[in-house]
Amino acid sequence: MPQHLVRLSALLPLGLTLLLTTAACTRTPDSADVNGTEPTAADPAPVDSVEDTESLLALSGEGLQLVGDQSGSTVTLAFGTEIAIVEDAVTGLVGEPTESGENTECGSGPQMITQWPNGLAVHAADGEFIGWSTRPNTDANLTTIAGAGIGSTRGELEAAYTVEVTETSLGTEFSTGNLFGLLSSPEPNATITDLWAGTVCNFR
């Protein structure tokens, strides 16, 4: 796993903690238990569990991802998640937002857009997380799990993903699955200048 993903404190807000909680395992009785007798075979030696000390924040075409720093387990804050949960997670990582307000001119309808100092913007509508975007000057450590972020080259992007590049009114635009962005030029050494997923507020 790339080590340049943004780190998130293990002390997460209550709502997010509930989201990350997994169901306890239930032991299935074996044949001896069903017959009412104790198993005669020795229990297998316990396997050492890997405990995460913190989570890493990664960008995704499906939302934002929390990746355990030791286990590599991944939880997605998917689009459609209650926006308060997402905002609490990001604020716990990078501090208070630099600005937040409603944009009523977005083509898809009004959006609440909240921006943090690291350059990440979260987009919301009707109380739900609908998209994220990053712009020039975003922290280069904020990337996808594959390492794609602002400043990555076209070559690095294409080494990690199957990419379609087209010229649009926005510039040299690329897409890969549900991940979208802009390149500084069509050249092989071009760099990513903008990156987004979900429903955002781009003016074409």
What is the tens place of the pLDDT at every residue in 176-193? 999 999 999 999 999 999
The one-letter amino acid code at 63 reads G
- The residues with which 153 forms a beta bridge, in sequence order, are 191
- Going by pLDDT thresholds of 50, 70 and 90, the confidence category of residue 145 is very high
The per-residue b/e assignment along 102-128, b for 16 or more CB within 10 angstroms, e otherwise, is eeeebeeeebbbbbbebbbbbbbbeee
pLDDT bin (cut points 50, 70, 90) of residue 90 is confident
Percentage of the chain lying above the pLDDT 90 cut: 55
Q: pLDDT tens across 9-30, in order?
A: 443 443 444 344 433 333 334 4
Distance CA 77, CA 93 (A): 15
Please name which of 145, 144, 124 lies closest in space to residue 134, comparing C-alpha atoms. 144
Long-range contacts of 82-86 (CB under 8 A, 24+ apart): 82/15, 82/127, 82/128, 82/129, 83/112, 83/122, 83/124, 83/127, 83/128, 83/129, 84/15, 84/127, 85/13, 85/15, 85/16, 85/19, 85/129, 86/122, 86/129
Instruction: Report in angstroms the alpha-carbon separations of 102 from 14, 109, 120, 128, 133.
Output: 26, 10, 16, 14, 15
Structure tokens at 44: 């297998």
- Spell out the domains of the chain, with CATH numbers in brackets: 6-17+53-198 (2.60.460)
